[in-house]
């Protein structure tokens, strides 16, 4: 149980506990009206409205998560760096296919993928296509920021946009939200319009059943975009109709041509998505544009391993420049692809050490002590376990026998689902105030935060549109959206604001 705040300990700058509680109530009310928040069952006095059963809940805070000007500068600069990283990764793969770069690069990135999808992703039409939404998961640690992974099909876009509206409206002209009130909506709109080009027709956000938990926020976002005169509709894949002229959608009382598809589904799930092959065919024939592109190579966590591989250093240095390569190598944890192929007797795994000892065989990790195994094992991509914090094993947080089994399972899965080994970086502690749902009292939580900046790419330029903070209780090792987490937008800290970096 989180202890309640005393009257002498204000939960937010300039707010009394009563005012903070009222703000939280107003925030929850607007989230509920947007169909993005579910009141806990213990507090609900009536059945949920249609569609609310898919909404979620979390701890509501009266204030955004404050960043310093230096931290904001870090995130502003990070967007162009990550876009360059994606460009370089795309070129590395293409040149590996051609034999210009080591062939094993493409083999690793294609491992476990259906051949038909691999060939589709290599088509000349899509050769230079990159994700138009970039969202890294960034963990502030005692030693600086760390990016645990990149997500090009991220949730939270609509939620962050809605939270930005709400917190900005509460603070008015005093709001210092990153991206401003409508940065997320307008940034997403500019991205869609840039990729849509001159095509006539509406834009369809296709959300699969696998991703149905995100349908309420994308439906809200689509409605906001229509208010901005952009014809965007959030629909299920089966609602799209295929014709020889292209894709069509029955919306707003009429049938409209689809000019663009925003893919809100994972590529591993293609066989379970109605009409997925028809969407691919329409994109192949140039009758519709699709983003993110059908390029599983760009959705692999093993890309971090390639960044750190010493044989590829000259390539990365040429593509990124010395300074950006050093920066990304510092904030992207050391990562290794768990390939069970045996090494020669005189070889070691580059950069991997246990207790100061070089490692020449993955089995050496099995005998590592709890203090020595500060590593994470997780699927690289193209798996039902590769998203939503599924399939993650944290070495120092599990018994020896379970750690050994996790390693062995990962190595055995290499032919179909490659796994990675990644250094674990512990997030630093922050303090955050929130309202207790069961008692309606203000409380303070000491927790670790995941910062999720959203970058939208338009006309080759990348824009920081907003940052979502997910503050999880200190005892949680995997940081993600959960009922016990506080979820708020980020804002630039003002001189009189209580800093969040003082535990």
pLDDT digit string, tens, across residues 198-246: 888 999 999 999 889 999 999 999 999 999 999 999 999 999 999 988 9
Q: 47 pLDDT exceeds 70? A: no
By CB neighbour count within 10 A (0-12 exposed, 13-18 middle, 19+ buried), where does 436 fall?
middle
Global confidence as pTM: 0.92
CA angle, 91 as apex, 90 and 95 as ends, to 5°? 125
Q: What is the mean pLDDT of residues 327-349?
A: 95
Q: Residue 24 above 60 pLDDT?
A: yes
pLDDT of amino acid 13: 63
Q: Poorest-confidence range of 77-86, 264-273, 487-496?
A: 487-496
**Confidence tier at 247 by pLDDT (50, 70, 90):** very high
Please report, rounded to a whole number, the percentage of residues in the chain having pLDDT higher than 70: 91
Calpha distance 81→75 (Å, rounded): 10
Q: Above 70 in pLDDT, residue 55?
A: no
At residue 358 the predicted structure's pLDDT band, cuts being 50, 70 and 90, is: very high
Q: How would residue 2 be classed by pLDDT, with cut points 50, 70 and 90?
A: very low
Mean pLDDT, to the nearest integer, of 357-364? 93
Question: What would you report as the CA-atom Rg of the chain, rounded to the nearest whole angstrom?
Answer: 23
- pLDDT over 70 at 411, yes or no: yes
pLDDT of residue 502: 46
29-58 in b/e burial notation, b at 16+ Cβ within 10 A? ebbbebbbbbbeeeeeeeeeeeebebbbbb
pLDDT exceeds cutoff 60 at 187: yes
Q: What confidence score (pLDDT) does residue 428 get?
A: 93
Peptide bond into 292 cis (omega under 30): yes
Q: Is the pLDDT of residue 498 over 60?
A: no
CB atoms within 10 A of CB 76: 15
Nearest to 124 by CA among 105, 97, 84: 97
Residue labelled with tokens 């179909």: 416
pLDDT value at 39 more than 90: no
Please say whether the beta carbons of 197 and 289 come within 8 A: yes
pLDDT greater at residue 378 or residue 387? 378
Q: What is the mean pLDDT of residues 108-119?
A: 96
Look at 32-41, 177-186, 370-379, 470-479 and tell me which has the smallest mean pLDDT: 32-41
* Residue ranges per structural domain of the chain: 334-423
Lowest-pLDDT range, 116-120, 269-273, 415-419?
A: 269-273
Residue 163 has pLDDT above 90, yes or no: yes
Q: What is the rounded CA–CA span in Å between residue 382 and residue 392?
A: 14
Locus of tokens 């990124």 = 320
Supply the mean pLDDT for the chain: 89
Q: Is the pLDDT of residue 415 over 50?
A: yes
pLDDT of residue 50: 47
Residue 501 has pLDDT above 80, yes or no: no
Mean pLDDT on 54-80: 91
> What does the DSSP 8-state code read for residue 502?
-
* pLDDT band at residue 45 under the 50/70/90 scheme: very low
pLDDT band at 44 (very low <50, low <70, confident <90, very high): very low
pLDDT mean over 340-358 = 92
Q: How confident is the model at residue 355 (pLDDT cuts 50, 70, 90)?
A: confident
Average pLDDT over residues 55-74: 91
């Amino acid at each position: 149980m989180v202890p309640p705040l005393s009257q002498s300990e204000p939960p937010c700058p300039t707010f009394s506990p009563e005012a903070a509680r009222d703000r939280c109530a107003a925030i929850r009310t607007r989230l509920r009206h947007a169909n993005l928040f579910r009141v806990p069952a213990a507090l609900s006095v009536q059945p949920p409205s249609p569609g609310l059963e898919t909404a979620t809940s979390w701890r509501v805070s009266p204030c955004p998560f404050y960043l310093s000007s230096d931290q904001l500068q870090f995130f502003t600069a990070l967007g162009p760096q990550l876009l360059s990283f994606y460009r370089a990764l795309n070129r590395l793969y293409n040149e590996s296919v051609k034999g210009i770069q080591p062939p094993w690069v493409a083999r690793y990135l294609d491992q476990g993928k259906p051949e038909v999808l691999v060939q589709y992703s290599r088509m000349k039409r899509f050769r230079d296509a990159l994700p138009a939404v970039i969202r890294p998961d960034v963990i502030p640690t005692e030693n600086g920021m760390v990016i645990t992974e990149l997500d090009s099909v991220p949730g939270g876009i609509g939620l962050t946009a809605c939270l930005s509206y709400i917190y900005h409206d509460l603070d008015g002209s005093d709001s210092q939200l990153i991206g401003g009130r409508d940065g997320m909506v307008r940034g997403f709109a500019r991205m869609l319009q840039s990729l849509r080009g001159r095509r006539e027709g509406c834009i369809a956000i296709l959300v699969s059943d696998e991703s149905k938990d995100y349908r309420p926020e994308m439906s809200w976002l689509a409605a906001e975009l229509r208010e901005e005169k952009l014809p965007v509709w959030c629909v299920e894949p089966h609602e799209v109709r295929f014709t020889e002229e292209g894709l069509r959608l029955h919306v707003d009382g009429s049938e409209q041509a689809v000019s663009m598809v925003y893919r809100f589904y994972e590529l591993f799930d293609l066989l379970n998505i109605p009409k997925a092959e028809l969407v691919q065919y329409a994109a192949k024939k140039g009758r519709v544009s699709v983003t993110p592109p059908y390029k599983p190579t760009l959705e692999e966590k093993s890309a971090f391993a390639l960044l750190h591989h010493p044989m590829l250093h000259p390539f990365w240095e040429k593509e990124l420049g010395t300074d950006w390569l050093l920066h990304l190598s510092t904030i992207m944890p050391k990562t290794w692809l768990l390939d069970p192929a045996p090494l020669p007797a005189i070889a070691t795994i580059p950069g991997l050490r246990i207790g100061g000892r070089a490692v020449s065989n993955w089995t050496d990790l099995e005998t590592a002590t709890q203090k020595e195994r500060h590593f994470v094992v997780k699927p690289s991509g193209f798996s039902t376990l590769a998203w939503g914090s599924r399939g993650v094993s944290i070495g120092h947080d599990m018994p020896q026998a379970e750690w050994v089994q996790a390693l062995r399972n990962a190595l055995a899965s290499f032919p179909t689902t490659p796994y990675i080994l990644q250094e674990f970086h512990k997030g630093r502690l922050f303090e955050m105030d929130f309202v207790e749902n069961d008692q309606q009292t203000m409380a303070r939580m000491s927790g670790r935060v995941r910062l999720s900046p959203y970058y939208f790419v338009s006309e080759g330029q990348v824009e920081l549109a907003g940052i979502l903070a997910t503050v999880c209780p200190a005892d949680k090792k995997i940081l993600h959206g959960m009922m016990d987490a506080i979820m708020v937008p980020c804002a630039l800290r003002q001189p009189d604001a209580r800093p969040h970096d003082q535990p």
